[in-house]
Amino acid sequence: MSVMALILLMAVAGCSKEEESPTATAVPASSDGGSQVASGVSAIAAERGLTEADIEAAVKTFVPSGTHDEYILFASGGHSGQMLVIGMPSMRLLKVVGVYTPEPWQGWAVGDASETSHILDGGDLQDGTELTWGDTHHPALSETAGDYDGEWAFINEKANGRVAVIDLRDFETKQIIKNPLSMSNHGATMVTPDTKWVIEGGQFPAPLDGSYASIDEYEEKWRGVLTMWKFDRSTGRINYDESFAVETPPYWQDLCDAGKLVSAGMIFCGSFNSEMATGGIEDGNPPLEAGISQADMDYLHIFDIDKMTAAVAAGKTDMINGFPVISLETAAAEGILHFAPEPKSPHGADVTPDGEFVVVSGKLDPHVTVYSVPKIKEAIAAGATERDPFGVGILDFDTVVEVQVEVGLGPLHTQFDDQGYAYTSLFLDSAVARWTLGGSFSDLHSEPDWELIHKTPVHYNIGHLVTTEGDTVSPDGKYLVAMNKWSIDRFNVVGPLLPQNFQLLDISESGTTMPVIYDSPIGIGEPHYAQIIKADKLNPWEVYPEVGWNPETQSLDPRAVAPGEEGVTRDGNNVTVKSTLIRSHFTPERVNVKVGDRVTWHMTNLETAFDATHGFALPGQNINLSLEPGEHQTIEFEVTDEGVFTFYCTEFCSALHLEMAGFFMVAPN
């Protein structure tokens, strides 16, 4: 069925734009005014029990074969440790980028032999413990002047406190860094509007040097941390030596957002557990979730980047685990950190596109609290009148809050569009709330400012939500994706572990029209957050720029093998193999080694054709590589067991793909 036919059908059937009309009647099978095409479609619709709203949703999301999606969603892969790349509005999964977990299709960090394994090793614990999974939460796209530039992506890893850099020329992970001070993070990753800094906010406090301290010393010795990673676009890497951290009180720091425009240079992080509860239900204490939720207010953390870098330049840092840290005392004294009270177990802290407001949601408060950045600046200039037990200045709530808007139960995160609306996820209501912004957004909408306009039910238990280019200075406002934690009855049952449900909402119309138009099951981890970029802002390579390209260095590899250079050479126990791959053979096809040899194997894919990827599977050695057109890889491993092993290509690359193989023969020594 074609889009044209569907449009025809809607014209014939007088399709209504009313949303959320699951009870609407199915399209009648016979249509008196229609063409044959339309009646064919209406017959299908009748047979399948589709309503007019269903057909409208289908037409909005259908991307015909051979055409491309308008937007690309970069979603966290949750505890799969990966990052998902999804086309919109079709919601087709385009790629799962290997980040913190080995990914065999991409040859990503499988085994110990490859260079990608060494990138993953960059995130190993200080004692050398290898990590083979991660819990990703918040991807961040690189920005120029506050707008996505399509060059880089960053993503945090909550469970062990890591940050990764992904190059959007080839959608591969290039760097993984382990935080030297913390075993966890959460307000990560966010970037400043120029991507000079990648922000890694913490979550669970602990002594920053990794030592033991009794829980009775929680207030005295356990600490939180905010880490500022300096990103260098010229190298495409985080520069560890120019990075630093700020010590924070042992409250549980949560989501962060970087200021932009009027708030550029500021960082806002929510927190909970100002109570400094430490649990101990087994000793008769209130359980953690009750202890943490006692106080009416927690603290929005407000950081000043210029004051941080001035303190670092002035040498006002301590070295902890070899990493410069601005102490809590210095942060408080120099005004690097201020607090603003925030109500009832806050979660999200989101800066509006003009940078003028920060929207905070308390999970146990039906309101969102909107802070005014100019008022925060004035209050800081006037001097804080109160201080927390660690000496951090607390700004007066009523002085810095612009307004509170009642939106519904369990508000978590907020996103923005181009019509002057904000969208807040309501976990307990299982809904997306649309409400109006004031200030510079007032003229964009026709309704009164700061007012709830509409709620669309979602299915179910929404966590984050994300709008098209919603974190930039100029959101597009076309689509919203509700990232729902539970899917319950929405899909075929696939056993007791259910997929999450990304629901696509059309937010292009104003007022109360905001229908769900697609359900997309996510059967890999629990994605928390995502960002959506206009697809034409991305400029990825179709093939590597030159034959012999090393994706780890993003340059021509001096070890690349040219046709005619193939062969096996031996120097004592060191065997060097030089291979080329092209449809449909490996050269050489016979590699003879002995037990105890150390093998260095250079492999160059000579292909320059779009999509002509070859794989390299070597049984017995836990090796699988993906060599994309032009790619060079070098692997190194030791041979411990005799036998004959047939290596083969793992990508069905040609009619004679099954013949693309060779023999790795290990003789006894």
Only one of the segments 309-317, 407-415, 442-450, 649-657 lies at the binding site for ligand CUA (rule: CB under 6 A); that segment is: 649-657
- Residue that has been written with the tokens 């002047």 in this structure: 145
Let me know: does 400 contact 371? Beta carbons within 8 Å: yes
Amino acid at 278: T
Can you count the helices (H) and strands (E) in the chain?
10, 44
DSSP-assigned states of every residue in 238-289: EEEEEEEEEEE-SSEEEEEEE--GGGTTEEEEEEE-TT-----GGGTPPPHH
CA-nearest of 636, 635, 615, 632 to 559 is 632
Q: Residue 137 touches which of ligand K7E, ligand CUA, none (CB < 5 to 8 A by kind)?
A: ligand K7E
Q: How many residues of this chain interact with ligand CUA, rule: CB under 6 A? A: 7
85 binds ligand CUA (CB under 6 A): no
Q: Tell me the closest approach of the beta carbon of residue 63 to ligand K7E, in angstroms.
A: 28
| Sole residue written with tokens 């017995």 | 620
Instruction: Tell how strand 549-550 and strand 555-556 pair up.
Output: antiparallel
Measured distance between the N- and C-terminal CA atoms of the chain, rounded to whole angstroms: 66
Give the shortest CB-470-to-ligand K7E separation in angstroms: 14
| Dihedrals phi, psi of 118, to nearest 5 degrees | -70, -30
Identify what 614 binds: ligand CUA, ligand K7E, none; CB under 5 to 8 Å per kind: ligand CUA
At closest approach, how far in Å is the CB of 347 from ligand K7E?
A: 6
Question: Which residues within the stretch 587-616 sit at the binding site for ligand CUA (CB under 6 A)?
Answer: 614
Q: Quote the tokens at residue 420.
A: 């002057």
649 binds ligand CUA (CB under 6 A): yes
Nearest C-alpha neighbor of 155 from the set 170, 169, 142, 143: 142
Instruction: State yes or no: residue 412 binds ligand K7E (CB under 6 A).
Output: yes
Least distance CB 441 / ligand K7E (angstroms): 24
Could you tell which of ligand K7E, ligand CUA, none binds residue 363, using a CB distance below 5 to 8 A set by kind? none
Does 618 sit near ligand CUA (CB under 6 A)?
Answer: no
Give the residue, chosen from 162, 169, 178, 186, that forms a contact with ligand K7E under the rule CB under 6 A.
186
Determine which residue in the list 59, 431, 625, 653 makes contact with ligand CUA, applying CB under 6 A: 653
* 370 interacts with ligand CUA by CB under 6 A: no
- Say which DSSP state 367 is in: E
Q: Which is nearer to ligand K7E, 330 or 461 (CB)?
A: 461
- CA atoms within a 13 Å half-sphere pointing along the CA-CB vector of 555: 6
Picked from ligand K7E, ligand CUA, none, the partner binding residue 649 (CB below 5 to 8 A depending on kind) is ligand CUA
Question: One-letter amino acid identity for 268?
Answer: F
Cβ distance to ligand K7E smaller for residue 529 or 616: 529
For ligand CUA, the closer CB: 485 or 657: 657
Nearest to 135 by CA among 204, 189, 79: 79
* 529 or 601: CB nearest ligand K7E: 529
- Which tokens in the block code for residue 252? 């549980």
Site string for ligand K7E, 131-150 (x = CB under 6 A): ------xx------------
- Shortest distance (Å) from residue 363 CB to ligand K7E: 10
Residue 657 Cβ vs ligand CUA, minimum distance, rounded to whole Å: 4
Neighbouring CB atoms inside 10 A of 559's CB total 16
- Per the document, the length of the chain is 669
Contact 485, 500 (CB under 8 A): yes
Closest residue by Cα to residue 192 from 296, 83, 287, 265:
265
Amino acid identity at 284: G
Q: Side chain identity at 244, as an amino acid letter? A: F
DSSP state of 35: -
- 255 in contact with ligand K7E (CB under 6 A): yes
Q: Which is nearer to ligand K7E, 393 or 463 (CB)?
A: 463
CA 654/CA 643 separation, integer angstroms: 29
CB of 609 to ligand CUA, least distance (A): 12
Whole-number Å distance between alpha carbons of 7 and 66: 20
Q: Least CB distance from residue 412 to ligand K7E, whole Å?
A: 5
Q: Which of residues 453-482 bind ligand K7E (CB under 6 A)?
A: 463-464
Residue 240 interacting partner from ligand CUA, ligand K7E, none (CB closer than 5 to 8 Å by kind): none
Could you list the residues that contact ligand CUA (CB under 6 A)? Answer: 614, 649, 651-653, 657, 660
Could you list the residues that contact ligand K7E (CB under 6 A)? Answer: 137-138, 186, 255, 347, 412-413, 463-464, 528-529
